[in-house]
Amino acid sequence: MKIKHLLLAVLLLGVITVSAQTKRKKSTTTAVTAGSELTRPKLVVGIVVDQMRWDYLYRYYDRYQSNGFKRLLNEGFSCENTQIDYIPTVTAAGHTCIYTGSVPSIHGIAGNDFIIQATGKSMYCAGDTTVKTVGSTSTAGEMSPRNLLTTTVTDELKLATNFRSKVIGIALKDRGGILPAGHAANAAYWFDDKTGNWITSTYYMNDLPQWVKDFNNQKLAEKYLKLDWDPLYPVNTYLQSSPDNSARYEGKFKGTDSPTLPVKTSALYKGHWGMIRSTPYGNTLTLDFAVSAINNEQLGKHSVTDFLAVSLSSTDYVGHQFGVNAVETEDTYLRLDRDLAKFFAFLDAKVGKGNYTVFLTADHGAAHNPAFLTDHNIPAGQWNEKGVLAGLNTMLENRYKVKRLVLGFGNYQVNLNYAAINKERLNADAIKYDCIKYLQQQPDVAYAVDMQQVQTASIPDELRGRIINGYNAERSGVIQIILKPGWFSGFSPTGTTHGTWNPYDAHIPLVFMGWGIKHGSLTRETHMTDIAPTVAALLHIQAPNGNIGKPIGEIFK
């Protein structure tokens, strides 16, 4: 009897188990039923704030309004420890990495400018003499994404929707609009200093759309410059900044006596529309144009997801001129905060709150001015790049009897003169060895690393990976120069710059908000290369073809 009862119990358990498995299978298969559609946001808006350090999210937090940066942080998901994966940390490489999930070694944008090693000729990242300017008689439109070797997440969206999605890139800087929009974009637009208009190139179209012409006819650049740049608050209340007479650290506008607010731009610009780049109004103008693009191109109103890539460039121009600790920089971010609040409110009304996804990040950060640091007893300095280059070439000339064997130190790299080396049948490896030995003797240089021998170099692993990722054999120099922390080259004694591996340059903000995004934050390390695959995962499309990043799964609902 006991055996019969045991067999019966086993039989009943089996029936229950099979029944439960059947129910689980049914519940799983009903998640996607016949006729159901895959949901995606109507619009993705990528915002790159040029030269925005990560800590700017919090440096001015107390004075931000409730619906700008604070809305991103309080409604969205912030990746608090996002790092750039390569050096040099410059605008073109940053915008490209954000949208490709790749690094210069693969995507080919090795700097804003770089030297083609085979010829010794300099190339601008977006330069393309095979195309013509559309919307101006200047040469500012001779640009395209052809130097980019990989696809972008915007390209992959076009491919995934059989090119039904609309993709548009917008920035004052040509590279800030072109590289994020990718190869297959409907359009990319940038600002022309000669006319004060938004222009493009024949890569995209042969004539500007009527709405762009109408926008240009408003002459908004002139209207904004006529407003002057007054501070939002009394200058003495900008507690996160140095006193507004810090001429030792800040660069002044031409025609002014000091780098202080207010700036009478109405009297200074005199038809030079490019001045708007170095004022907060450049960001305002960019977002005005973005609103017009959404309205007239009906972005977010199609049956598939559209994508608007916006880069806000004025933060970079202001930062370069005035530096991290200036009242002008603080005022620029407080004004940008208001502009973002207005822009988000527009998206809520036009596309619908919860129908769009936005992410905000930066292409790189910025360092404190070296003089500012040394005045506060913090080690820093300005590297005498020209002097070191001259000394190096003199040493090489004495040894090899050939002048200018090193073309320059662009992107903190040694670019050899291969035309002269090959002509004179010199040993390039011997010259490289001599360069490294000379550079290692310079007091401001921490490391001088042979790009092709980086795996065996006695350097921290963190630097090794970033050097490898930044090295493109056809477009990068043969030696990577790493200066000591706080040391820079390539800028005047005032203002600031960027380009290095250090946290002030490589730690960037990354905040997602809107459709498919939960509220929260993350402190584990994430990377600039993770942005594109995260957007791709959100949209259920393929990652770009050079992608090496990984989706940040924690952000998804």
Q: CA 54, CA 396: separation in Å to the nearest integer?
A: 42
SS3 142: coil
Q: Could you tell me which residues come within 8 angstroms of residue 210 by beta carbon, excluding any fewer than 6 positions away? A: none
Find the Cα–Cα–Cα–Cα dihedral 44, 199, 68, 348, rounded to 10°. Answer: -50
Q: How many CB atoms are closer than 10 A to CB 14?
A: 10
283 touches 335 (CB < 8 A): yes
- The b-or-e profile of 87-102 (16+ CB within 10 A means b, else e) is bbbbbbbbbbbbbbbb
Chain mean position to CA 490: 20
What is the DSSP secondary-structure string of 33-84? -TT------SEEEEEEETT--TTHHHHTGGGS-TTTHHHHHHHSEEETTEE-
518 touches 556 (CB < 8 A): yes
SS3 184: coil
Angle CA 463–469–474, to nearest 5 = 125
The alpha-carbon radius of gyration of the chain (Å, integer) is: 26
372 touches 502 (CB < 8 A): no
As given in the structure block, the two tokens for residue 77 are 């998901």
265 part of the active site: no
What is the DSSP secondary-structure string of 234-267? -GGG-TTS--TT-TTT-PPPTT-SSS-S-B-HHH
Q: CA 203, CA 183: separation in Å to the nearest integer?
A: 9
Residue listed under structure tokens 């402190």: 523
Q: CA 249, CA 242: separation in Å to the nearest integer?
A: 9
Q: How many CB atoms are closer than 10 A to CB 466?
A: 25
Secondary structure element (H or E) that encloses residue 160, with its range:
helix 153-160
Q: CA 205, CA 134: separation in Å to the nearest integer?
A: 8
Q: Which residues pair with 238 in a beta bridge?
A: none
Q: Which residues pair with 382 in a beta bridge?
A: 488
Q: CA 365, CA 77: separation in Å to the nearest integer?
A: 20
**Among the options 82, 89, 91, 534, which is catalytic?**
91
Q: CA 508, CA 83: separation in Å to the nearest integer?
A: 6
Three-state secondary structure readout of 392-451: HHHHHHHHHCCCCCEEECHHHEEEECHHHHHHCCCCHHHHHHHHHHHHHCCCCEEEEEEH
- Give the residue numbers marked as catalytic: 91
